């Protein structure tokens, strides 16, 4: 039997049950290693999420539209949609809001739901997320100020962060 990813003999055999099908994966040592390392052992592989979202998009997106979408940048953390699509990982909590239109169909197809019904923070969650995202934005501005060697601005931003953090406690 040959490896599914390359032509070497398959020595690793992995059984996967995903959604409504059982699949057996057959990899050579090298490809199995890659597969297993990209995975924190009991959850879907992040890269597969990237592939899944690309599939979702292709259905009704032309190459031009996809190219434009790939350039979309979260103003808070600076992640591009392309980066997310490649890695399957988001850059900050704001991405759920910012890329909502693209993410919601993906979330629906993974979970079959878009509403959380489990545990909630005991201290409540009113408006916290907005303020927290503001702190993340300020952290990025501060880093950029330091890079420009604008230490005066950086220290002003640091004070701002400190004040917001205290309010959040």
Chain contacts with other proteins (rule: CB under 8 A)? 11-22, 32, 36-44, 46, 49, 76-79, 83, 87-93, 96, 103, 106-107, 110-123, 125, 128-129, 132-133, 135-136, 139-140, 143, 164-165, 168-169
Min dist CB 94 to Zn ion, Å, is 4
Nearest to 141 by CA among 75, 67, 82, 81: 75
**Residue 31, binding choice from Zn ion, other proteins, none, Cβ under 5 to 8 Å by partner class:** Zn ion
Q: Does 103 bind Zn ion (CB under 5 A)?
A: no
Q: How many degrees, rounded to 5, is the angle at CA 30 between CA 29 and CA 34?
A: 115
Instruction: Please identify, using beta-carbon distances, which residue of 64 and 124 lies nearer to other proteins.
Output: 124
| Beta carbon of residue 69, minimum distance to Zn ion (angstroms, whole number) | 15
User: Which of these segments, 44-52, 86-94, 123-131, 144-152, binds Zn ion (CB under 5 A)?
Assistant: 86-94
Q: What is the 3-state secondary structure (H, E, C) of the chain?
A: CECCCCCCECCEEEEEEECCEEEEEEECHHHHHHHHHCCCCCCCCHHHHHHHHHHHHHHHCCHHHHHHHHCCECCCCCCEHHHHHHHCCCCCCHHHHHCHHHHHHHHHHHHCCCCCCCCCCCCCCCCHHHHHHHHHHHHHHHHHHHHCCCHHHHHHHHHHHHHHHHHHC
Nearer to Zn ion, 5 or 139 (CB): 5
CB of 64 to other proteins, least distance (A): 25
In the region spanning residues 22 to 61, those forming contacts with Zn ion, defined by CB under 5 A, are: 28, 31
Give dist(CA 92, CA 137) in Å, integer: 10
Nearer to Zn ion by Cβ, of 77 and 157: the residue is 77
5 part of the interface to Zn ion, by CB under 5 A: yes
Contact residues: Zn ion, CB under 5 A? 3, 5-6, 8, 28, 31, 74, 76-77, 91-92, 94-95
């Amino acid at each position: 039997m040959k490896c599914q990813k390359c032509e070497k003999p398959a020595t690793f055999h992995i059984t996967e049950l995903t959604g409504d099908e059982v699949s057996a994966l057959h990899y050579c040592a090298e490809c199995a290693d890659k597969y297993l390392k990209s995975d924190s052992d009991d959850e879907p592989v992040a890269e597969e999420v990237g592939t899944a979202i690309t599939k979702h998009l292709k259905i009704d997106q032309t190459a031009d539209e996809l190219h434009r979408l790939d350039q979309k940048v979260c103003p808070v953390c600076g992640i591009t949609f392309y980066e997310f699509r490649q890695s399957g990982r988001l850059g900050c909590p704001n991405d759920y809001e910012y890329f909502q239109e693209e993410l919601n169909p993906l979330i629906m197809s993974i979970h079959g739901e878009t509403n959380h019904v489990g545990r909630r923070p005991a201290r409540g969650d009113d408006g916290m997320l907005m303020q927290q995202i503001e702190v993340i934005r300020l952290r990025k501005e501060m880093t950029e100020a330091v890079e420009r060697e604008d230490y005066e601005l950086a220290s002003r931003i640091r004070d701002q962060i400190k004040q917001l953090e205290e309010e959040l406690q």
